């Protein structure tokens, strides 16, 4: 697989399949042994064929050669899972079993039970009984129960069961992947943005990660002492000269950098990208030049670059650093994106991490800049909005960088614009992203130290999801989600609107899917209730996956436009209320508390 490398010391988490059986011998257990193991193997096959890690590898399952009929076998299974690295568990059964004796009691392991819906043996009865035990003991568990009755021995997994298993595993693997990793804060607070006040208890208690913070003078030290792979720098510089086309310099002529200064900005920008990556995940090449400590990195699965203002008032901005690291390719070829938040907004960075772990794709970091009503568009451009844009839209634009994948110049199986997981990308896709992107000298009014800003326009017609993790004093973390679609405005309309802000920055026109119910009664209301100035745009409608992941982490979701039929949370959530699922989510998360606290 192109670009697949091992970034982190820990092994990739696996899914443990727990075949649960009626422990009574002399005929009952013996008749169920093979059907139960076959059910476990079928579930494992489904998972391994359909779920990948964000690093591209297929998720592996641990499938035992024995069933769990009681507490002793449950303990044997725990030992097997510990040895094999199974950090997520799916229990499966076609029959009645002894619930509290066979259930998964590990409080840190995301868990689900699939109880076969058949009449010959009551697997669904075990499901209900054991979910009740999980609820009673405070160990949230997802229940998977097919809508239709199936025949005993039918190994074809129903479509509704497949969807729930895959959604559960995606979320569980994301939870397990984050555990033990780091958030690397490169610098401190950017321009008073609260999201860049990195909250250690949030990251430690809810995600099981640690926070590492470095002063930005570390970049100066590494640049001055050439603590980076110097051969790679030469290769990267040649690649940039060949592939990163320069665009218009919109600075006043008397303020513009000279050609020599611009070339130096390119060189420093590339060095910053190399250094930021090495700080996050290390680089063996540094050990070879005498910097063994620096070669280790900080085990960072996510990070943020402060940039403004102290850094950007003197040095080139971090736009190239952020854009290229967040992309699915660079001078080394196609590879897994690194997750780096603009302005060290850790809350947006963590939201980017959620999206990347669930999809394997690059994520777009953006300001939620402006709501454009149909009336405002008509007044300023003379154009009447129609189609997906008819009710108005949001202008998503970051102040300088975004992942180059965000131009959405790739085509999905349906022919629509998309952003692909890196393992599906081709060299033609990379070429299309580079062609759609221009690099403009940083606006010196904002970035006194210069640099290069990323400009592209996201193709219209891509189903997508915006989301944001917010931190609320007295409540804790809370997520908001809006599914919708990107828009392609007529060229003259786009230019008139784009010119009203900084046209050297990447633009995405986004229309949320409206339901007629507050806060999704209008695009204006969506923006008016957005919790911060930033959001993350992920390709595809992944809101249901984010909600499942959030429930595993005990983070409530207070604003979303996902159909209730797609909501999949632990079964105990219904004990907190069924008439108002949003309120029930808050009560459940508050009751259970942070996963790692």
Active site residues: 343, 367
**How many helices (DSSP H) and strands (DSSP E) are in the chain?**
19, 22
Say if CB 455 and CB 506 are below 8 A apart: yes
Residue 546 · residue 469 · CB < 8 Å: no
Residue 77 neighbours by CB under 8 Å, 6+ apart: 16, 18, 64, 68
Are the C-beta atoms of residues 532 and 468 closer than 8 Å to each other? yes
C-beta separation of 518 from 406 below 8 A:
no
Judge contact between 570 and 499, C-beta under 8 A.
Answer: no
Encode burial over 468-495: b for 16+ CB neighbours within 10 A, e otherwise: bbbbeeeebbbbbbbbbbbbbbeeebbe
Alpha-helical segments (H) within 382-469: 427-436
Q: 125-143 burial string, b = 16+ CB within 10 Å, else e?
A: ebbebbbebbbeeebbbbb
Q: How far is CA 476 from CA 434, 551, 567, in A?
A: 40, 14, 22
Contact 232, 274 (CB under 8 A): yes
Judge whether 453 and 442 are in contact, CB under 8 Å: yes
Q: Are strands 86-93 and 14-19 parallel, antiparallel or unpaired?
A: parallel
Other beta carbons within 10 angstroms of residue 551's beta carbon come to: 24
CB 582 within 8 A of CB 558: yes
Give the integer Cα–Cα distance in Å for 404 and 446. 22
Give CA separation, 115 vs 119, 121, 143, 305, in Å.
12, 10, 8, 47
| H or E segment and range at residue 505 | none
- Please check whether residue 87 is in contact with residue 109, taking contact to mean a CB–CB distance below 8 angstroms: yes
| Calpha distance 256→277 (Å, rounded) | 30
Q: Compute the distance between CA of residue 157 and CA of residue 178 in angstroms, rounded to an integer.
A: 30
* 484 bridge partner residues: 464, 512
DSSP 66: S
């Amino acid at each position: 697989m192109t670009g697949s490398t091992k970034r982190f010391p820990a092994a990739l988490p696996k899914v443990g399949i727990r075949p649960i059986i009626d422990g009574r011998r002399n005929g009952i257990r013996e008749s169920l042994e093979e059907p139960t193991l076959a059910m476990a193997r079928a579930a494992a096959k489904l998972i391994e064929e359909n779920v990948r890690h964000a690093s591209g590898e297929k998720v592996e399952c641990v499938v035992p050669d024995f069933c769990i009929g009681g507490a002793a076998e449950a303990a044997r299974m725990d030992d097997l899972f510990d040895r094999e690295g199974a950090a997520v568990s799916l229990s499966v059964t076609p029959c009645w079993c002894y619930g509290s004796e066979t259930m998964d009691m590990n409080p840190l392991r995301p868990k689900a039970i699939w109880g076969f819906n058949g009449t010959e043996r009551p697997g669904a009865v075990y499901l209900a009984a054991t979910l009740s035990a999980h609820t009673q003991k405070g160990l949230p568990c997802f229940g998977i129960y097919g809508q239709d009755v199936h025949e005993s021995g039918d190994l074809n997994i129903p479509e509704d069961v497949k969807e729930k298993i895959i959604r559960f595993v995606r979320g569980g693997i994301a939870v397990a992947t984050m555990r033990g990793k780091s958030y690397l804060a490169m610098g401190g607070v950017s321009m008073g943005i609260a999201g860049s006040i990195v909250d250690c208890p949030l990251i430690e208690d809810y995600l099981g990660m640690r926070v590492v913070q470095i002063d930005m003078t570390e970049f100066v030290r590494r640049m001055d002492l050439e603590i980076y792979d110097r051969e790679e720098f030469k290769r990267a510089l040649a690649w940039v000269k060949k592939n990163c086309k320069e665009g218009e310099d919109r600075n006043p002529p008397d303020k513009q950098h000279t050609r020599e200064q611009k070339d130096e900005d390119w060189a420093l920008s590339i060095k910053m990208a190399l250094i930021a990556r090495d700080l996050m995940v290390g680089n063996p090449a540094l050990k070879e030049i005498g910097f063994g400590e620096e070669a280790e990195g900080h085990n960072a699965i996510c990070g943020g670059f402060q940039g403004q203002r102290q850094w950007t008032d003197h040095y080139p901005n971090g736009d190239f650093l952020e854009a290229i690291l967040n992309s699915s390719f660079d001078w080394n070829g196609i590879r897994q994106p690194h997750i780096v938040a603009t302005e060290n907004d850790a809350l947006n960075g963590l939201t980017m991490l959620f999206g990347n772990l669930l999809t394997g794709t690059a994520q777009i970091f953006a300001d939620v800049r402006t709501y454009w009503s149909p009336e405002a568009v008509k007044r300023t451009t003379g154009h009447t909005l129609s189609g997906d844009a008819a009710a108005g839209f949001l202008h998503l634009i970051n102040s300088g960088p975004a992942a180059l994948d965000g131009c959405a110049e790739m085509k999905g199986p349906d022919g629509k614009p998309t952003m692909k997981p890196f393992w599906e990308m081709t060299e033609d896709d990379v070429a299309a992203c580079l062609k759609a992107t221009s690099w403009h000298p940083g606006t010196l009014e904002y970035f006194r130290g210069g640099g290069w800003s990323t400009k592209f326009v996201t193709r219209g017609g891509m189903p997508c999801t915006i989301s944001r993790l917010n931190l609320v004093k007295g409540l804790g973390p809370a997520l908001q989600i809006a599914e919708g679609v990107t828009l392609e405005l007529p060229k003259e309309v786009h230019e008139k609107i784009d010119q009203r802000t900084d046209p050297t920055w990447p633009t995405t026109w986004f229309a949320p899917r409206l339901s007629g119910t507050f806060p999704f009664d209008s695009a204006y209301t969506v923006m008016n209730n957005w919790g911060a100035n930033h959001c993350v745009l992920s390709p595809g409608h992944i809101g249901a996956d984010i909600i499942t992941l959030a429930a595993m982490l005990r983070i409530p979701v207070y604003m979303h436009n996902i159909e209730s039929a797609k909501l999949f949370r632990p079964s105990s959530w219904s004990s907190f209320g069924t008439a108002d699922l949003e309120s029930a989510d808050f009560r459940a998360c508050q009751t259970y508390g942070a996963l790692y606290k």
